[in-house]
């Protein structure tokens, strides 16, 4: 029982321990104040068009933990279709693959279904320079670069914005993987999706570190509460059983204690034998109670 309990507690901490693939990035404004901070493991799943026009899928590409944040911005006017959206942008540049970056866009713009006082992640783009990853993108046209992006429709804001938002001043924490489709419309290029794992992020920051932590709605039930509840129930059962056992033991007269001591070493034959003896002594009730308790082990 006790090792089981420890296992339950270990499961709670597992998410915090797998940190080696988790990058930590932040963006400073020109006057030196922090505007975006993000900790996450970012995995990309990209398809691409080969020389012969066939579609192929590259394996999972992880954004390097040492990606640089050059050309990120605390205030950028982003062109979205015909419109301009005031945004904050985290740009992650692959240090060893020239021409590769991921840009993560945040806004407070109400046209994207963001409530007053909230900010949201509304777009992720990936710029891929196939030539600088020749082992992954085989048989691609020389010097070809493609930018994967979502087409944003103001009348039907993207799914990502519905999910990845919180109040200005708060930090969003999502230990489970959150997967998003960047593009699935063949008219806008090959399919792409991104997954964010062990995510902690905040944009439109008001202080010099993460604010109040708000856990993603989906994670709260599954990941955090279940092990806690199970552990508590197990701990309760263990305690109850132990206490009940010792109370019984303490109440048993010395001669019965001597009999029960043997019983743990020997087998059922002894149990029946002992039961009979106790009935003769008129102590059957205590004895039966004790047996019920004992069967729990
Ligand atoms: C720093 O710049 C941001 C905009 O980039 C502005 O909102 C903020 O008020 C500035 N802070 C100071 C202390 O000047
Ligand atoms: C940053 O932007 C400048 C100007 O547009 C550009 O010359 C430079 O290559 C960019 N750097 C990265 C890493 O994208
Ligand atoms: C793409 O990668 C190739 C090979 O590393 C490099 O020569 C080229 O300049 C890169 N293109 C861009 C736009 O970064």
DSSP states of 246-261: HHHHHHS-HHHHHHHH
Shared domain check, 157 and 42:
yes
Shared domain check, 194 and 284:
no
Shared domain check, 202 and 84:
yes
Q: Is the residue at 50 inside a domain?
A: yes
Domain count, the chain: 2
18 C-beta closer than 6 A to ligand 2 = no
Q: Is the residue at 263 inside a domain?
A: yes
131 C-beta closer than 6 A to ligand 3 = yes
**Which of 27, 64, 71 should be mutated for ligand 2, with most atoms under 8 A from CB?**
71
Domain end residue (candidates: 150, 180, 215): 215
**pLDDT over 80 (residue 170):** yes
Shared domain check, 204 and 63:
yes
Shared domain check, 169 and 76:
yes
Percent of the chain residues past pLDDT 70, beyond the cut: 70
Shared domain check, 150 and 255:
no
pLDDT tens across 258-291, in order?
665 555 554 545 445 554 554 555 444 444 444 4
Shared domain check, 167 and 44:
yes
Which is the closest atom of ligand 2 to the Cα of 71?
1
What is the residue range of 107's domain? 19-215
SS3 category, 245: helix
CA distance 280 to 163: 71
CA of 77 from ligand 1 middle (Å) equals 17
Shared domain check, 244 and 151:
no
pLDDT at 161: 52
Distances in Å between the Cα of 291 and the Cα atoms of 260, 285, 287 are 10, 10, 6
Q: Is the residue at 225 inside a domain?
A: no
Shared domain check, 236 and 125:
no
pLDDT band at 6 (very low <50, low <70, confident <90, very high): very low
Query: What mean pLDDT is predicted for residues 120-145?
Result: 92
């Amino acid at each position: 029982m006790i090792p089981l309990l420890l296992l339950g507690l270990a499961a709670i901490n597992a998410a915090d321990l797998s940190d080696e693939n988790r990058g930590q990035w932040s963006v400073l404004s020109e006057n030196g104040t922090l505007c975006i901070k993000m900790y996450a493991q970012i995995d990309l799943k990209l398809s691409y068009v080969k020389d012969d026009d066939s579609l192929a899928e590259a394996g999972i590409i992880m954004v390097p933990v040492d990606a640089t944040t050059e050309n990120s911005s605390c205030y950028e006017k982003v062109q979205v279709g015909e419109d301009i959206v005031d945004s904050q942008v985290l740009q992650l540049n692959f240090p060893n693959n020239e021409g590769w970056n991921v840009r993560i866009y945040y806004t407070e713009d109400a046209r994207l279904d963001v409530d007053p006082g909230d900010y949201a992640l509304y777009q992720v783009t990936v710029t891929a320079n196939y030539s600088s990853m020749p082992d992954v993108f085989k048989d691609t046209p020389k010097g070809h670069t493609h930018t994967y992006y979502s087409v944003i429709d103001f009348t039907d804001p993207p799914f990502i914005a519905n999910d990845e938002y919180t109040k200005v001043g708060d930090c969003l924490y999502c230990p489970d993987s959150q997967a998003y489709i960047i593009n699935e419309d063949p008219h806008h290029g090959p399919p792409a999706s991104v997954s964010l794992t062990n995510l902690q992020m905040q944009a439109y920051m008001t202080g010099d570190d993460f604010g109040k932590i708000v856990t993603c709605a989906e994670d709260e039930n599954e990941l955090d509460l279940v092990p806690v509840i199970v552990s508590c129930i197990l701990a309760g059962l263990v305690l109850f059983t132990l206490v009940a056992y010792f109370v019984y033991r303490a109440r048993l007269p010395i001669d019965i204690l001597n009999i029960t001591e043997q019983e743990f070493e020997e087998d059922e034959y002894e149990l029946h034998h002992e039961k009979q003896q106790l009935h003769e002594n008129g102590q059957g009730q205590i004895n039966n109670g004790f047996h019920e308790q004992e069967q729990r082990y």
